[in-house]
Structure formats: structure tokens, C-alpha cells
């Protein structure tokens, strides 16, 4: 403490210790009274002293005094003890040393030393105890007193405990910054943080990613298990998020089931994609809330400054758009922002509108995909798959429009139409082929479902055991009593039940024991994984098959395309197969043709091996060589290379910079060259864009582009290649 010190060390110790024990006014009362007026009424000095002593002993307040240098000459023993000392121990200590020089917000507290130096009185100054283990707050008042010559003689004052008031004030300010349920930063807090981070980072040309996260099916938990359960779930979600993200201050709950994460200095889309996938996987693990098991999912949108926006408004809006797209792609996914999402969001809204009267306009149709007995190649049934032929856009995948229908409350009429149409068709097939119909979890949660199913069977005359309802694991969410009632009602009708998409989300074998399934359908992603060397999927499939056998359930492997996959599936004793290796979905007329022949068998055919995730496409990109930029078309793309078309006779070994747009540049070397086509290998591997496509890991920052346009570009004057357009023109 830089207290002005005019006193010597000897002065400091002069008799203070023994006088201290006589009480505050024992030492100072008399002297101070000399300067004051006569006591009020007829109270004697001694009485006044006793009153003050009583007050001191009551613990409601305390007194202090210092010499002119600010060293303690008296302090109430009780308060000294709260500070872990005795009154006499503290004598001679600088009064300012009793308090922390910083306040709770980390701001320096200059006031006390300053006031003492200024020799002015102060009242109720809030100060925090400096003693370890003591986090009290005191309101301290003090008055200087002077000797006859007018020089400062010392200080006297009082203090009282304001810890409780202080805490509630801090709580209030914490409430203003933190979400009271999860303890995470709140919307206000995180948006300020993002503002300041982005402002600072744009100066320093640093990048910063944000993730927006929305829970899938959270509303169902709230609706079926109640709000306290929903709250308990949100707390666990927050804990899981913190475990992955680490920095507590950067994770926020925006409200409801929406969260935001700030990730400073992160622009690597490979790392961001991995993190988003980790978050989704972690949040999709089952929760136990108030004795119920429940399962939700999460979707994530990612935007990165400065590429996707430089202000927090732009960045958040774009992350939100990415989130919307992630949800539109069938939930449980992440998605990076890209500028074409603006168009996609508009398309989706338009699609929702068109979906409203697609049924009336007769744009919906059912196709049927054979389900084949894996050992005998005999078709035992078909799965009804809905097809929408849009008047302008052509065929639209159910993976796209079913989630829209679910969100827009259109799934119920659509689902009922599918059910009635499938039963009607199946009733006309010769033989006893089964028909499987997909039932959305939203239909499953509606207590009218058994009535509709019964009515569809009754009006078409289809025997109940020829109808199979496919439901996904998400029906195990929420009220298990209600779920059990629904299972019972459906089984009571005599229909078969299949568990669809097993192995996609949060699979647990636990509920198989209790739910009355006749079949488990193992998802295609799971089967594909099984052919990858070192994968444990094969062992897991074997376990599922063993369990299913024991429970007398059938198994179907979905999405089998290649002969090696079929081989594996047969070895693992999966009883049925559904996939292109046998047949794509076929129209009703074609199905009738096959079924009429009697027993319907299909010889499997397909590629020997599954090709390694190569995306067939027709995408226009730029290929830059020297100071020439060519327009080329990518015909297929993998993480490590691409097949490009459009430039003639390029020598092997030539290096291009491929420009995918939006700052996505990658260096590529020609490895194979055939007239107007080249196979190129990328210098750096591409990463998943969260949407089944690929993107570059890094992008060229707008800062660099701005800097580059200041200077002239390449000085290389390499010879230009001929392009196919020159070639066609010639
Ligand atoms: P799902 O029920 O798992 O259906 C299997 C999907 O895998 C179908 O896609 C089918 O065409 C596809 N598939 C089958 N074999 C192969 C293969 O070897 N390779 C590949 N790449 N794909 C294969 P589709 O018809 O596009 O349907 C997608 C999803 O949309 C369905 O997945 C189902 O969840 C939903 N869906 C389809 N029709 C309906 C419906 O009528 N109602 C409801 N609620 N959902 C439906
Ligand atoms: Mg299905
Ligand atoms: Mg499936």
C-alpha cells in the first residue's frame, strides 16, 4: 500500500496494544468528545460508552481507528476474528491491507487509499475482505480527526457486514448475463461477446467460427414428460456441450432448445465438422431424466468469420440458415453455411406450399422395393416408398419432403394416404406378398393410428399379417407407457411391426426385449461401415442377428448395393436383404407382372465392391494455371481427387489451382490425362460439408483476396491450353 507515512515505527507501537483491549471509546471516546458539543439529554459519557460497547458486542457493526499514517490503532475484536486474526494482532497493520484492492469485477479499487490520502470523510464504502477464506463485503465509513495545530491525527470509523446484499446484487447481475437453468451464458451475454470478438479479430485478421445448435424432438420430451423433465434434460445437454467445447464462457443457451457456441481462431472445416459430429453424437446418447429414459438429437449450423460474414448479425443469420438446411436434410446433421443456402431456404418454403396440395393434384405415387430372402433369393415382401413428382421440379426425394411434411403438419394426411393406397394395391397382388409401410413418429404418437390402420385393412380386405408397419427408434422417446399402449393396440390388430433404420442414431438393444417387433432393419450406413477393414460393425451385426434369432425376429439389411456386401451379410446370417443388388423400387404395374408369375426370385447383380464414396456430378468450377483460368466441369469428386473435363491435352504432372468458388481453392496435380479429361489429385484432402458433399478444409480469406487485388496477380506467362469450347468452335 502506498500510504503516506509521516510517522516513525516507534510511534506505531506506542502503547496501542494494551489500549486496544479497552474498547474503542475507552481510548478515543474521551478525546473525540472534547471537540463535540455536550451530550444530548442527560446521558453521561460513561453510559454512552456502554451503549456503544453493547452495540459492538451485538455483532451488528464494528469500529476502527488508525493513526495519521493509516495504521490500525483500534479494531473491534469480533471483526478481527472474522478476518481470522485478533484485534491486537491487527494493530499496526495498514488499514487498507484489510481489503482487496480489486472489486469483484476485477476493477481496481483505488477509492480507499485515495480517500485516506485526501483526508476526506467517507460513508458506506463497499470493500471486500482481503483475508483468505473470508469473502465478506463490508460497508466502511470513516472520519479524519486533527490535532490542535490542524494536522491529521488519525482516523475513526465504523463498518458493517453487507455480504448478503452484495450477493443478491451479484446474483441479479449474473441473472442478467447467465441462463438461470443451465448456468451457460445467455443470449445477451454471448451476442456482446461475439460483437467484441469479431471487432477485435477483424483488426487482427483472425477467424472465428460460430455454431448454432437446435435439439431435435425436444418438444416431444416437454410434451410427454412435462416441463420439469425438459428442464432436467436441458441441464444435461449443457453439461455434455461443455465437456466437448471446454470453454464455459463460449457456450450459450439462447433460449428454448437453442444453443450457440463461439470458437475463436477456428476456420478448419475438417476440425469444425468433426466437432459438430461429436456434439451431435454426444447429444444423441440416451438421457435419464426423472427416472425416464429419453432420446433426442441435435442439428448444427456452422458459419465462419470472415468468410461467411464479418459482423455478428451476418454471421448469426448465416449460421441460422445453415442450421435450417441441416434440419431440412433430415436432422441429426451439421451443415456449413454456403451462399446457395439462401436459395435453398426459399426453395424449401416454396416446397412446403406445394406440398399442401400435391396429394389433390395427384403428384404422389407409391413405388415398391422388393425385400429378398438372402439365402433363397426369393422376394418375401416389398416396402412401399412414396414418390413425389413435382410439376416443375420433377422427382423429389422423400428424405427431403417427409421432414417438411412432419414440420408443416402435413404428415398425417400424407401418411394416411400411403397406408390406404398400399393396402389397396397389396390386396390386388396375387400370392401373399407382404407390404411394409413407413410410419412417421408423429403418426405413431397419435392415438388414432390403430383406428386408421384397422379401417385401411377393413376397406381393402387385406389380411392384417400381410401389413408391416416400419417405425424408427425415435418412438422410444418419451412416455413409455403410452408407447407400450400403442404397440399393444397395433399388435392387437394383427399387423407386423418392423424397427427401421437400426444403427443410425442412438441404437440400444434394450428395448428390443420389450417391444413386440417382428423384424429389425439394419440401416445401410451401418452395413456399409461393416465392409471397411477394422470396423466393429460386423461384430455388432452378428450380435444383433443372434439377439433377433433368440427373440424370433427377422433381420433385414438395407441398402445393399455390391456383391461383397451381400456376401458379408449372408455370412452374418442376416435373413433378408433390401437393396439395389436385388432391385431398385419398382412401379405398381411392374410389381404385378413379377408377382403374377408365381414365386418371385431375383438374381443379385451389382458391382463386386462398393466404390469409395465418389460423388458423380456435373459441377462447373475454375481451373487456374499460370495466368489463365479455364472453365471445367467436375464429373466426379472424392476427398483425394477429381475427374475434370474441358481442357485438351494436358501433360501429366501439370498443376492447377481448382477454384470451387467462395474462396475454396485447392492445388491439384494431373495424374491421368485423356484428351479432354484429366484425373487430378488434390494436395490437401477435401472434407465433408455435412450434406453428403465435400468442401475444402480451408478457404482463402477475404483479407487475403482484398490484399491480393491491390497487387497485380501472377507474372507467370505459361502457355495456354486449348479448351473443349475452342475445340468445338473450330
Ligand atoms: P427407409 O424407410 O429406410 O427406406 C429405404 C430407403 O433406402 C429408400 O429411399 C430406398 O429407395 C433406399 N434404398 C434401398 N436400397 C438401396 C440401395 O441399395 N442403395 C441406396 N443408395 N439406397 C437404397 P427413399 O425411397 O428415398 O426413402 C427415404 C426415406 O424416406 C425412407 O427410408 C423413409 O424413412 C422415408 N419414407 C419413404 N416413404 C415414406 C412414407 O410413405 N412415409 C414415411 N413416413 N416415410 C417415408
Ligand atoms: Mg423404411
Ligand atoms: Mg431404413
CATH number at residue 23: 3.30.450.20
Instruction: Report the distance separating Cα 311 and Cα 246, nearest Å.
Output: 25
CATH number of the CATH domain containing 262: 3.30.70.270
CB under 6 Å to ligand 1: residues?
369, 385-386, 397-399, 402, 415, 418, 438, 440, 470, 500-501, 558-561, 578-580, 585
Cβ–Cβ under 8 Å, residues 691 and 329: yes
Kindly state whether residues 511 and 619 are assigned to the same domain: no
Mean pLDDT of 417-443: 95
List the CATH number of the domain containing 395: 3.20.20.450
Domain C-terminal end among 140, 166, 192: 166
Q: Flag whether 609 is in a domain.
A: no
For a ligand 1 pocket test, name from 409, 412, 438 the mutation site with the most ligand atoms within 8 angstroms of its C-beta.
438
Query: Which of 129-138, 224-233, 298-307 has the highest average model confidence (pLDDT)?
Result: 298-307
Distance from the alpha carbon of residue 558 to the mean position of ligand 1, in angstroms: 9
Three-state DSSP at 212 gives strand
Using the atom order of ligand 1, give the atom closest to the CA of residue 443. 44
Give the pLDDT score at 512.
73
Question: How many domains, the chain?
Answer: 4
Residues 106 and 186 in one domain: no
CA 112 to CA 450: how far, in whole Å? 77
CA 411 to ligand 1: nearest atom: 44
pLDDT band at 2 (very low <50, low <70, confident <90, very high): very low
Q: From the CA of 438, how far away is ligand 2's center (Å)?
A: 5
In this predicted structure, what is the pLDDT of residue 206?
A: 92
Kindly state the average pLDDT of the residues 625-630: 86
This model's pTM is above 0.75: no
602 within domain boundaries: no
Cα(556)–Cα(549) distance, integer angstroms: 12
Low-confidence winner among 178-182, 710-714, 724-728 (lowest mean pLDDT): 710-714
Distance 380 CA to ligand 3 centre (A): 17
Q: Who wins on pLDDT, 680 or 612?
A: 680
Query: Whose Cα sits closest to atom 45 in ligand 1?
Result: 438
Q: Residues 660-664: what's their mean pLDDT?
A: 88
Distance 361 CA to ligand 2 centre (A): 25
Query: Ligand 1: which residue has its CA nearest to atom 43?
Result: 438
CA of 477 to the centre of ligand 2 (A): 19
Ligand nearest to the CA of 578: 1
List the residue whose alpha carbon is closest to atom 4 of ligand 1: 385
Q: CA torsion, points 43, 46, 52, 55, in degrees to nearest 10?
A: -90
Nearest ligand to the CA of 585 is 1
Out of 355-359, 392-396, 436-440, give the one with best mean pLDDT.
Answer: 436-440
Ligand 2: centre distance to CA 500 (Å): 6
Residue closest by Cα to atom 29 of ligand 1: 399
Q: Is residue 191 located within the same domain as residue 159?
A: no
Sign of the torsion formed by the C-alpha atoms of 643, 645, 647 and 651: positive
522: enclosing H helix or E strand: strand 519-522
Asked if residue 605 belongs to a domain, the reply is no
Residue 236 belongs to some domain of the structure: yes
Last residue of a domain, one of 166, 188, 209: 166
Q: Whose CA is nearest to atom 6 of ligand 1?
A: 559
Same domain, residue pair 443 and 565: yes
Task: Name the residue of 381, 402, 456, 470 to mutate for ligand 1: max ligand atoms within 8 A of Cβ.
Answer: 402
CA of 472, closest atom in ligand 1: 34
Same domain, 585 and 715: no
Q: What is the Cα gyration radius of the chain?
A: 38
Residue 558 CA, ligand 3 centroid: distance in Å: 6
Q: Is the pLDDT score of 657 beyond 80?
A: yes
Asked, for residue 480, whether it belongs to a domain, the answer is yes
408 assigned to some structural domain: yes
- Provide mean pLDDT across the span 384-397: 93
Last residue of one domain, picked from the residues 570, 597, 624: 597
Q: How far is CA 635 from the centre of its chain?
A: 34
pLDDT tens column, 673-682: 998 899 999 9
568 and 500 fall within a common domain: yes
Q: Which bound ligand lies closest to the C-alpha atom of 501?
A: 3
Among candidate residues 611, 616, 614, 650, the one with its CA nearest the CA of residue 630:
650
Can you tell me the mean pLDDT for 180-185? 93
pLDDT at residue 615, rounded to an integer: 63
Give residue 484 CA to ligand 1 midpoint distance, Å: 26
Mean pLDDT calculated for residue range 283-306: 89
Cell 488508525, residue located? 66
How much is the pLDDT for 142? 93
Q: Residue 41 pLDDT > 70, yes or no?
A: no
**577 contacts 565 by C-beta, under 8 angstroms:** no
Q: Using CA of residue 680, residue 681, residue 687, residue 688, what is the dihedral sign?
A: positive
Q: Which distant-in-sequence residues (6+ apart) come within 8 Å of 248 by Cβ?
A: 184, 242
> From the CA of 94, how far away is ligand 1's center (Å)?
79
Residue 17 has pLDDT above 70, yes or no: no
Residue 418 Cα: closest atom of ligand 1: 41
- What mean pLDDT value characterizes the chain? 85
CA 500 to ligand 3 centroid distance, Å = 5
Atom of ligand 1 nearest to the CA of 523: 3
Cα(709) to centroid of ligand 3, in Å? 51
Report the C-alpha gap between 650 and 639 in whole angstroms. 22
Closest CA to 386 of 448, 462, 437, 344: 437
The reported pLDDT for the residue numbered 504 is: 67
CA-nearest residue, atom 32 of ligand 1 = 399
Say how many Å lie between the CA of residue 551 and the centre of ligand 1.
Answer: 26
DSSP 368-379: EEEEEETTT-BE
Say what the pLDDT of residue 104 is.
Answer: 46
Range name among 82-86, 551-555, 558-562, 646-650 with the lowest pLDDT average:
82-86
- Closest ligand to Cα 385: 1
31 versus 342: the higher-pLDDT residue is 342
Ligand 1 midpoint to CA 591 (Å): 17
Atom of ligand 1 nearest to the CA of 367: 25
Q: Of the bound ligands, which one is closest to the alpha carbon of residue 381?
A: 2
Find out whether 230 and 276 touch, Cβ atoms under 8 Å.
Answer: no
197 with 309, same domain? yes
* Residue 414 lies in domain: 346-357+364-597
For the CA of 501, the closest atom of ligand 1 is 3
Calculate mean pLDDT across residues 36-55. Answer: 68
- pLDDT at residue 378 above 70? yes
> Same domain, yes or no, for 432 and 560?
yes
Gap from CA of 234 to ligand 3 centroid (Å):
29
Residues flanking ion ligand 2, Cβ below 5 Å: 438, 470, 500
- Which grid coordinates are listed for 679? 484425373
Residue 398 Cα: closest atom of ligand 1: 30
Does pLDDT of 408 surpass 90?
no
> pLDDT tier at 603 (50, 70, 90 boundaries)?
very high
CATH of the domain at 694: 2.40.10
Note whether 634 and 565 are same-domain residues: no
Q: Do 641 and 571 belong to one domain?
A: no
| Residue located via cell numbers 470478438 | 197
Is the model's pLDDT at 12 over the cut of 50? no
User: What average pLDDT does range 634-653 have in this prediction?
Assistant: 91
Using DSSP bridges, classify how beta strands 334-336 and 364-373 pair: parallel, antiparallel or unpaired. Answer: unpaired
The answer to whether the beta carbons of residues 147 and 153 sit under 8 Å apart is yes
Per DSSP, 217 falls in state S
* pLDDT exceeds 80 at position 398: yes
Of ligand 1's listed atoms, the one at least distance from the Cα of 386 is: 38
Query: What is the 334 CA–ligand 1 centroid distance (Å)?
Result: 21
Residue 460: strand, helix, or coil: helix
**Does residue 132 form part of some domain?**
yes
Per-residue pLDDT tens for 311-325?
A: 999 999 999 999 988
Considering the domain architecture, whether residues 389 and 535 belong to the same structural domain is answered as yes
Question: Do residues 154 and 199 both lie within one domain?
Answer: no
All three cell numbers of 638, joined, read 472424392
Using the atom order of ligand 1, give the atom closest to the CA of residue 578.
15
Ligand 1 atom nearest to 580, measured from its CA: 18
- Among 385, 402, 522, name the best residue to mutate to test ligand 1's pocket (greatest count of ligand atoms within 8 A of Cβ): 385
pLDDT at 719: 66
Q: Is residue 478 part of a domain?
A: yes
Residue 39 has pLDDT above 60, yes or no: no
Amino acid at each position: 500500500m502506498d500510504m503516506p507515512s509521516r510517522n516513525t515505527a516507534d510511534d506505531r507501537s506506542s502503547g496501542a496494544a494494551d489500549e486496544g483491549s479497552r474498547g474503542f471509546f475507552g481510548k478515543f471516546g474521551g478525546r473525540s468528545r472534547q471537540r463535540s458539543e455536550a451530550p444530548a439529554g442527560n446521558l453521561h459519557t460513561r453510559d454512552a460508552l456502554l451503549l456503544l460497547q453493547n452495540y459492538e458486542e451485538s455483532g451488528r457493526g464494528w469500529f476502527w481507528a488508525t493513526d495519521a499514517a493509516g495504521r490500525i490503532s483500534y479494531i473491534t475484536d469480533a471483526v478481527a476474528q472474522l478476518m481470522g486474526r485478533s484485534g491486537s494482532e491487527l494493530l499496526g497493520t495498514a488499514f487498507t491491507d484489510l481489503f482487496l484492492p480489486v472489486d469483484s469485477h476485477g476493477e481496481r479499487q483505488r477509492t480507499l487509499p485515495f480517500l485516506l490520502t485526501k483526508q476526506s470523510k467517507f460513508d458506506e464504502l463497499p470493500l471486500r475482505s482481503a483475508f483468505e477464506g473470508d469473502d465478506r463485503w463490508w460497508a466502511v465509513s470513516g472520519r479524519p480527526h486533527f490535532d490542535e495545530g490542524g494536522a491529521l491525527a488519525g482516523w475513526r470509523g465504523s463498518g458493517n457486514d453487507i455480504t448478503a446484499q452484495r450477493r443478491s446484487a451479484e446474483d441479479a447481475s449474473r441473472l442478467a448475463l447467465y441462463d438461470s437453468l443451465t448456468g451457460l451464458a445467455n443470449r445477451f451475454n454471448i451476442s456482446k461477446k461475439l460483437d467484441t470478438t469479431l471487432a477485435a479479430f477483424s483488426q487482427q485478421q483472425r477467424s472465428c467460427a460460430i455454431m448454432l445448435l437446435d435439439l431435435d424432438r425436444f418438444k416431444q420430451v416437454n410434451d410427454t414428460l412435462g416441463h420439469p423433465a425438459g428442464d432436467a434434460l436441458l441441464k444435461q445437454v449443457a453439461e455434455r456441450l461443455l465437456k466437448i467445447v471446454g470453454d464455459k464462457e463460449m457456450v450459450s443457451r439462447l433460449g428454448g432448445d437453442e444453443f450457440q457456441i463461439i470458437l475463436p481462431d477456428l476456420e478448419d472445416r475438417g476440425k469444425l465438422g468433426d466437432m459438430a459430429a461429436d456434439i451431435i453424437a454426444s447429444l444423441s446418447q440416451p438421457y435419464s431424466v426423472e427416472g425416464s429414459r429419453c432420446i433426442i438429437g441435435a442439428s448444427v449450423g456452422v458459419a465462419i468469420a470472415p468468410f461467411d460474414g464479418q459482423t455478428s448479425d451476418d454471421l448469426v443469420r448465416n449460421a441460422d440458415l445453415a442450421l435450417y438446411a441441416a434440419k431440412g436434410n433430415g436432422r441429426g446433421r451439421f451443415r456449413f453455411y454456403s451462399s446457395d443456402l439462401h436459395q435453398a431456404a426459399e426453395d424449401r418454403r416454396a416446397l412446403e406450399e406445394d406440398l399442401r396440395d400435391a396429394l389433390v393434384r395427384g403428384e404422389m405415387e407409391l413405388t415398391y422395393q422388393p425385400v429378398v430372402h438372402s439365402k433363397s433369393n426369393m422376394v418375401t415382401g416389398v416396402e412401399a416408398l412414396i414418390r413425389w413428382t413435382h410439376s416443375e421440379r420433377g422427382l423429389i426425394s422423400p428424405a427431403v419432403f417427409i421432414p417438411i411434411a412432419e414440420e408443416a403438419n402435413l404428415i398425417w394426411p400424407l401418411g394416411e394416404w400411403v397406408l390406404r393406397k398400399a393396402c389397396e394395391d397389396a390386396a390386388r397382388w396375387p400370392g401373399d406378398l407382404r407390404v411394409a409401410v413407413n410410419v412417421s413418429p408423429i403418426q405413431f404418437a397419435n392415438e388414432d393410428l390403430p383406428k386408421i390402420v384397422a379401417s385401411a385393412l377393413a376397406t381393402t380386405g387385406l389380411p392384417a399379417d400381410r401389413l408391416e408397419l416400419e417405425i424408427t427408434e425415435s418412438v422410444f422417446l418419451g412416455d413409455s407407457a403410452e408407447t407400450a399402449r400403442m404397440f399393444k393396440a397395433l399388435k392387437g390388430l394383427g399387423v407386423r411391426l418392423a424397427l427401421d433404420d437400426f444403427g443410425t442414431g442412438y441404437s440400444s438393444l434394450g428395448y428390443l426385449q420389450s417391444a413386440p417387433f417382428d423384424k429389425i432393419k439394419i440401416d445401410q450406413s451401418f452395413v456399409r461401415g461393416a465392409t471397411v477393414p477394422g470396423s466393429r460393425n460386423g461384430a455388432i451385426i452378428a450380435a444383433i442377428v443372434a439377439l433377433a434369432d433368440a427373440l424370433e425376429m427377422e433381420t433385414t439389411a438395407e441398402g445393399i448395393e455390391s456383391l461383397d456386401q451381400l456376401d458379408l451379410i449372408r455370412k452374418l446370417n442376416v435373413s433378408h436383404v433390401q437393396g439395389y443388388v436385388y432391385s431398385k423400387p419398382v412401379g405398381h404395374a411392374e410389381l404385378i407382372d413379377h408377382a403374377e408369375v408365381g414365386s418371385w426370385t431375383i438374381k443379385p447383380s451389382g458391382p463386386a465392391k462398393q466404390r469409395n464414396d465418389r460423388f458423380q456430378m456435373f459441377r462447373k468450377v475454375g481451373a487456374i494455371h499460370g495466368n489463365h483460368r479455364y472453365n471445367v466441369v467436375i464429373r466426379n469428386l472424392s476427398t483425394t481427387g477429381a475427374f475434370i473435363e474441358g481442357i485438351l491435352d494436358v501433360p501429366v504432372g501439370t498443376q492447377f489451382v481448382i477454384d470451387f468458388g467462395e474462396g475454396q481453392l485447392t492445388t491439384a496435380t494431373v495424374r491421368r490425362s485423356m484428351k479432354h479429361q484429366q484425373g487430378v489429385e488434390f494436395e490437401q484432402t477435401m472434407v465433408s460439408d455435412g450434406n453428403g458433399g465435400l468442401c475444402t478444409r480451408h478457404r482463402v480469406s477475404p483479407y487475403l483476396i482484398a490484399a491480393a487485388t491491390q497487387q497485380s496477380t501472377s507474372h507467370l506467362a505459361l502457355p495456354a491450353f486449348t479448351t473443349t469450347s475452342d475445340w468445338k468452335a473450330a
